[in-house]
Amino acid sequence: MTQTHRLSPGTIVLLTVPPLMWACNAVLGRMAAPLVPPMTLNLLRWAVALVLLLPLGGWVLRPAGGLWRHWRRFSALGLLGVGCYNALQYLALKTSSPINVTLVASSMPLWMLAVGALFFGQRITRRQVVGAALSIAGVLVVLSHGEWAHLRALRLVPGDVYVLLAALAWAFYSWLLIQRHEPEAVRADWAAFLLAQVVPGVAWSGLFAAGEWALGAPPIQWSATLVAMVLFIAAGPAVLAFRCWGAGVQRSDPSVAAFFVNLTPLFAALLSVLFLGETPAWHHALAFVLIVGSIVASALH
């Protein structure tokens, strides 16, 4: 069944918060790369997130709470959204340039549309195709700084495959998110619903981190800065972003929500202006118009 929800102001806010948080996450992920291995960083952020969620939705862990009866569904959500998505991005940041990572991640709307059509019976509309083209054009404007010669100089490396896999995992996660199989009490309590995903997600993350350690990962270089970064990415890009994304996707549609993901490189550019002293340029405004245009085009029916 194809959903045809229009975007309300509240839904727009919900879907705008995650790309803002993910832009912060990309910056901090690059800063943390020399200090902690990528799989370990993902495990740390979600272990802290689990602790934050326990007082809010811990009842879902009870025998009759709903988690254990639907453990296969929550294990799949935990694997895709918690165990894979950001772990693959952190891994990519160690092996690929930030501009390549962002460029490959801009394929998200295409993956979301393809996964929805192939596996969830969703119909791709002409407006969504136009929206995908506008969205990618906006990202290219940001990445090229308005000079297309910069794009011609790009060379894909093996690390870019990790971002591609991350985008694919997020597409499946988002479509599975709107399938309603768990009790309504779990669905209605955002903290319980997220905690039900985080518990198996931490187990998956721990498994991946154990493999990383077995392969000889360098030790963590603990410092007050690293602790502060882990606390922030647990509270913001993890708990807050996932909470807003889950609510926004359920109010709209994954194929529409996907276009908001491409606000991430724009927010990253704006954060550079605010915190790194870079001067705003005309291409930032053009990219904003293109990306917002893609959201409008995809949401119209």
pLDDT digits (tens, 9 = 90+) for 234-251: 999 999 999 999 999 888
- For 268, residues 6+ apart whose C-beta sits below 8 A from its C-beta are 23, 26, 27, 102
Cα distance between residue 215 and residue 7, in whole Å? 46
The CB-side HSE value for 292 (13 A sphere, CA atoms) comes to 8
What are the sequence ranges of the domains in the chain? 9-299
d(CA 191, CA 253): 21
Determine the distance from the C-alpha atom of residue 181 to the mean position of all C-alpha atoms in its chain, rounded to a whole number: 23
178: helix, coil or strand? coil
17-71 pLDDT per residue, tens: 998 998 888 778 878 889 999 999 999 999 999 999 999 999 999 998 888 999 9
> Which pLDDT band holds residue 295 (cuts at 50, 70, 90)?
low
User: Can you list the pairs that 64-70 forms with residues at least 24 positions away whose Cβ atoms lie under 8 Å?
Assistant: 65/186, 65/192, 66/182, 66/183, 66/185, 66/186, 66/192, 66/196, 67/186, 67/196, 67/199, 70/181, 70/182, 70/196
pLDDT for 2 equals 42
Q: Which of 44-53, 169-178, 287-296 has the lowest mean pLDDT?
A: 287-296
pLDDT at 3: 45
Closest CA to 253 of 3, 1, 55, 49: 3
Structure tokens at 18: 């995650």
Residue 70: CB atoms within 10 Å: 15
CB 233 within 8 A of CB 43: no
Give this prediction's pTM. Answer: 0.83
